[in-house]
Amino acid sequence: MAELHLHIEGTLQPELIFALAERNGIELPYADLDELRSRYEFTDLQSFLDLYYANMAVLRTEQDFADMTRDYLARASAGGVRHVEVMMDPQAHVSRGVPLETCVNGVASALATSEEEFGVSTLLIAAFLRDLPEDDALEVLEQLLAMNAPIAGIGLDSAEVGNPPSKFVRLYQRAAEAGLHRIAHAGEEGPASYITDSLDLLGVERIDHGIRCMEDAALVERLANEQVPLTVCPLSNVRLRAVDTLADHPLPAMLSAGLNVSVNSDDPAYFGGYVDDNFVQLRAVLGLTAAEQSRLAANSIRSSFASDARKAELL
Ligand code: HPA
Ligand code: ZN
């Protein structure tokens, strides 16, 4: 199985937040772990993003980024993940004074030893914050290219509604010129038209989330025909109230429609579980079968940007 939709900053566990705060001499606005944990009740995407960005304050040194990344890789490996494409949010760190080299090198150093240490092959994707101006993203992308950052592609995340794909045409053109893979969050909270526009205006190869495609029958037909990969995150969708309950999740309907879906954890420290936890709940609540789980796992490997040789090993 491959994990294709994972924000490394969303793997920062409450215990590590406290440990890093102590190591870096940072005063947290929470008295203890229980008080921090009591904040993990979200009403929508923005209510999560507020806590997600606030907690990043404890990430200061290369070692901090490396420790967070290693913790995730160890846990993902134990849960059966054999390849991961890790997104990180460079702008969320640069904007609070952490040098780009520090965050990129910290995450990349842990990824570099992952295959040997954990049996998990990795790729790094720089995700850009869609609620910031396109020029800000372009500047950071140029810096990443200038420093030869080991990135395989770019993504687009953060507050979706009101920040449509059309805002980032130049960013995605530049990434294509640089030979980078392109993915984008679309159709999580935003409308189905953001999925279409991500494909047609940004040239993305995969859609992160994409669940709202189900509101547009013509789009579903197109996505099925073109086998566009959709990286679905069931527990995330429940916790951010994109769906009411797991029992209401469109995953079974998406499978029935012949869509190329995979199951992913998104921000496992915030949404109640890693990718294996997602599968446990999908089996329990939606009656996901072993055959369906195998199909989802095969989709994740085929839809990855791993080499053909690595894909053949994993399939
Ligand atoms: N959606 C949008 N932006 C994000 C997410 C998400 O699920 N996780 C981290 N940044
Ligand atoms: Zn996401």
Whether the CB-CB separation of 127 and 7 falls below 8 Å is answered with yes
* Matching residue, tokens 């890693």: 274
Q: Residues 3, 160, 188, 189: which is the catalytic one? A: 188
Q: What percent of the chain has pLDDT over 70?
A: 100
Rounded to the nearest integer, the mean pLDDT of the chain is 98
pLDDT reported for residue 302: 98
188 included as an active-site residue: yes
Evaluate whether residue 94 is within a structural domain. Answer: yes
Evaluate whether residue 310 is within a structural domain. Answer: no
Q: How many CB atoms lie within 10 A of CB 38?
A: 10
Evaluate whether residue 309 is within a structural domain. Answer: no
Evaluate whether residue 171 is within a structural domain. Answer: yes
Query: 190 in ligand 1 pocket by Cβ < 6 Å?
Result: no
CA 244 from centroid of its chain's CA atoms? 21
| Structural domain count, the chain | 1
Give 213's contacts (C-beta < 8 A, 6+ positions apart).
Answer: 187, 192, 195, 207, 219, 220, 223, 230, 254, 259
Q: How far apart are the CA of 312 and the centre of ligand 1, in A?
A: 30
Work out the average pLDDT over 256-281: 98
How far apart are the C-alpha atoms of 73 and 188, rounded to whole Å?
25
Tokens representing residue 64 in the block: 């901090």
Evaluate whether residue 313 is within a structural domain. Answer: no
Work out the average pLDDT over 46-59: 98
Work out the average pLDDT over 268-284: 98
Query: 189 in ligand 1 pocket by Cβ < 6 Å?
Result: no
- Per residue in 153-176, pLDDT tens? 999 999 999 999 999 999 999 999
How far apart are the C-alpha atoms of 248 and 251, rounded to whole Å?
9
The ipTM is 0.96
Evaluate whether residue 207 is within a structural domain. Answer: yes
Q: How far apart are the CA of 93 and the centre of ligand 1, in A?
A: 15
Give 177's contacts (C-beta < 8 A, 6+ positions apart).
Answer: none
Tokens representing residue 9 in the block: 């900053």
Evaluate whether residue 81 is within a structural domain. Answer: yes
Residue-range definition of the domain harbouring residue 188: 2-303
As annotated, the binding site for Zn(2+) includes 5, 7, 185, 266
Q: Is the pTM of this model over 0.95?
A: yes
Evaluate whether residue 65 is within a structural domain. Answer: yes
- Per residue in 84-123, pLDDT tens? 999 999 999 999 999 999 999 999 999 999 999 999 999 9
pLDDT reported for residue 253: 98
Q: How far apart are the CA of 54 and the centre of ligand 1, in A?
A: 14
How far apart are the C-alpha atoms of 245 and 182, rounded to whole Å?
31
> How is residue 266 annotated by DSSP?
B
- Per residue in 132-147, pLDDT tens? 999 999 999 999 999 9
pLDDT reported for residue 266: 98
* Matching residue, tokens 């038209």: 193
List the residue whose alpha carbon is closest to atom 3 of ligand 1: 158
**Given pLDDT bands bounded at 50, 70 and 90, which one contains residue 250?**
very high
Residue 291 sits in a domain whose CATH number is 3.20.20.140
